[in-house]
Amino acid sequence: MVKADLEAVVKFNRERPDVYGNAHPKNLLRAIQEDGDHLSKLSSRHIYSIDQFERESLFQLFRLAAKYEANPDRFGTSLQGKILISAFYEPSTRTRLSFESAWHRLGGDIMSITDRSTTGIAKGESLADVGEMFNNYGDCVVLRDTNANSVREMMSALRIPIINAGNGTDEHPTQAMADLYTIFKWKPSLITEEGSEKINLCVVGLPSKMRTVRSLLKLVALFPECFGQVTIVNDQSMETMFDEGQATQLLDAGIDLQTSDCLDDVLPDADVVYINAIAWEGNSFNQYGKQFHITSDSPLKKSAIILHPLARGAELCCSLDSTEHNWYFAQARGAVFLRQALLTCLVQRAERVLDIV
């Protein structure tokens, strides 16, 4: 390779492209007043399901996340002396590194388990015993497993907090929190001017089978004043689309819940488009609606933003990366700060970062 060509290949820029979802977290900091009392519960609760959260705790978590995001280098010792047990019995690089980066940035130490077969579970050890073991070795656990019951079995013996980082097809609570955090950063007026502005949310995915969607819809149901229409797009029938209670929870909250099997019909009115790798169910490959994909030619609203929990496949075209619709990279970036906020509270270190203690 000619040296000039090589120079072009190896030179890189640290600055993010402007279009990568550049909401300033400071706007969210102004939109929410700090009130640490609403975080105190979090030091004695496992993080298992969105169902256990209230609006006020979530607002405070989002505020703390925004504080971390606005001052990413300030809190390098918040978790000093604390050990995270990062247990990914179901493999993951993205979520694992997101949690581990969050913990490292705050000065904590980490022990990783990335291979289920190296654990005693392969020998028949109970998950409760694994939990009792973790009590002696660390201060916090993050667990992902294809088996939806693992986290609860471990919780029965844990005396340190655990975060459910994905339990089968059930939930992925921190992902949903990161998603809503991104939406509020993008449009803090949803919080400050309650009711004056609602957004339409389009979710491309299968609520009955996708833990990210399941958790997200539970969260949406907690903030009905923010959402106008919520439209679920997939190719399934009503019987298979929702598990028991999923639709009801949204309707009872006053959400205008719609479904559609035609994405291009829904896009022109959607403010936030949440698209999942609809081909995936848990960690195995299943084909749900290969026909649902978004490109820069899709009939998107000019101001619409796109979210995707990543990793993405054909459903989200790279041509959108350089457009102002691209908020999926900001979503991944913000997820680290959201997790920092949660982890800090779980291990009783909130008093090191809150202004009013």
Residue 98 or 298: which CB sits closer to its own copies? Answer: 98
CB 236 → its own copies: shortest distance, Å? Answer: 21
216 and 178 Cβ atoms separated by less than 8 Å: no
Residues numbered 199-218 forming contacts with its own copies, rule: CB under 8 A: none
Q: Which of 316, 99, 129, 97 lies closest to 204 in space, CA to CA?
A: 316
CA distances from 184 to 65, 253, 303, 313, 334 (A): 11, 19, 15, 26, 11
How far is 189 from 260, CA to CA, in rounded Å? Answer: 28
Q: Is 47 in the site for its own copies (CB under 8 A)?
A: yes
Q: Is 115 in the site for its own copies (CB under 8 A)?
A: yes
Q: Is 146 in the site for its own copies (CB under 8 A)?
A: no
What the block records as the tokens of 89 is 């019995």
Query: Which residue stretches of 106-157 are H helix?
Result: 127-137, 150-155
Residues numbered 4-43 forming contacts with its own copies, rule: CB under 8 A: 6-7, 9-16
DSSP assignment of 233-251 equals: E-S--HHHHS-TTHHHHHH
Question: Applying CB under 8 A, which part among 28-36, 124-132, 214-222, 247-255 lies near its own copies?
Answer: 124-132
Residues numbered 61-80 forming contacts with its own copies, rule: CB under 8 A: 73, 76, 80
Q: Is 100 in the site for its own copies (CB under 8 A)?
A: yes
CB 264 → its own copies: shortest distance, Å? Answer: 24
Among 204, 217, 232, 332, binds its own copies (CB under 8 A): 332
Q: Is 273 in the site for its own copies (CB under 8 A)?
A: no
Residue 3 or 302: which CB sits closer to its own copies? Answer: 3
Among 40, 52, 192, 229, binds its own copies (CB under 8 A): 52
How far is 7 from 309, CA to CA, in rounded Å? Answer: 34
Peptide bond into 311 cis (omega under 30): yes
